[in-house]
A and B are shown apart, each in its own frame.
Chain A
Amino acid sequence: SQQGEEDPQALSIQEGENATMNCSYKTSINNLQWYRQNSGRGLVHLILIRSNEREKHSGRLRVTLDTSKKSSSLLITASRAADTASYFCATANNAGNMLTFGGGTRLMVKP
């Protein structure tokens, strides 16, 4: 079963606009990770935020984590057509590396 729910399921924006995706989860976590997937290929790791962190930046990416609300958001600023992909959040909540994924957000960036 999936731990997380992502919102929206699909998002269509123009190049240059910002894209925000949200993720909610159900149980306590050690960290939360965001991944990108292009057309059914492998997952590309974007960013990892630990449970004791509230915000993290990486290039055009900004991730926030609110453990009290069990939610996270991924912001992509100044989007590009190449950002078109599916984005997944994944949580890790035990001693191993078992990731529980959300259903994903399909982002389309129109040139």
Chain B
Amino acid sequence: KAGVTQTPRYLIKTRGQQVTLSCSPISGHRSVSWYQQTPGQGLQFLFEYFSETQRNKGNFPGRFSGRQFSNSRSEMNVSTLELGDSALYLCASSSPRGLHSQETQYFGPGTRLLVL
């Protein structure tokens, strides 16, 4: 099976712009989660989508949003970029047996975003 793919791999934006990142999960996986990794804050959970519904949300401002499509692909959007949004954004997919189960999450290579 192909792994989790993320596009683009690298991105440079300026303050105030918006950005959309894409994630394609492993075939058959219905849960997609997003994480932000920075040197200062470490790995932090952004949100999780399961069957096109946001199931969990981390403690991030409303500038961070996401969605999931019927084929389980997911996008996350960051509007009005700030310097502090520079980070590695990681997507992970999993195949929970049901809504209340948890399984191993498989991570993509990440999108490295630099905000100037």
* B17 at interface, CB cutoff 8 A: no
Contact: A41 with B110, CB < 8 Å?
yes
* B33 at interface, CB cutoff 8 A: yes
Measured CA separation A96–B30 after assembly (Å): 12
Measured CA separation A92–B95 after assembly (Å): 15
Kindly list chain A residues whose C-beta atoms are within 8 Å of the C-beta of B108: 42
Q: How many A-B Cβ pairs are below 8 Å? A: 76
With contacts A30-B102, A31-B102, A43-B107 taken as known, whether A98 is within 8 angstroms of B42 at the C-beta atoms is: no
Which of chain A's residues has its CB closest to B100's CB? A95
Contact with B along A23-53 (1 / 0, CB 8 A): 0000000110101000011111100100000
With contacts A96-B50, A96-B56 taken as known, whether A101 is within 8 angstroms of B42 at the C-beta atoms is: yes
Contact size range, B: 20 to 34
Nearest-Cβ distance from residue A25 to partner chain B, whole angstroms: 14
In chain A, positions 86-111 with a C-beta closer than 8 Å to chain B are: 88, 90, 92, 94-104
* A2 at interface, CB cutoff 8 A: yes
Kindly list chain B residues whose C-beta atoms are within 8 Å of the C-beta of A97: 31, 33, 48, 50, 55-56, 92, 94, 96, 102-103, 105
Which of chain B's residues has its CB closest to A48's CB? B104
* B64 at interface, CB cutoff 8 A: no
Contact: A45 with B56, CB < 8 Å?
no
Contact: A98 with B107, CB < 8 Å?
no
Contact: B43 with A88, CB < 8 Å?
yes
Contact: B43 with A101, CB < 8 Å?
yes
Kindly list chain B residues whose C-beta atoms are within 8 Å of the C-beta of A2: 42-44
Kindly list chain B residues whose C-beta atoms are within 8 Å of the C-beta of A99: 33, 35, 43, 45, 92, 105
In chain A, positions 52-111 with a C-beta closer than 8 Å to chain B are: 88, 90, 92, 94-104
Contact: B107 with A94, CB < 8 Å?
no
Would you give 14 A-B contacts (Cβ < 8 Å), ordered by A? A40-B37, A41-B110, A42-B109, A45-B107, A48-B103, A95-B55, A96-B48, A97-B55, A97-B96, A97-B102, A97-B105, A98-B48, A99-B43, A99-B45
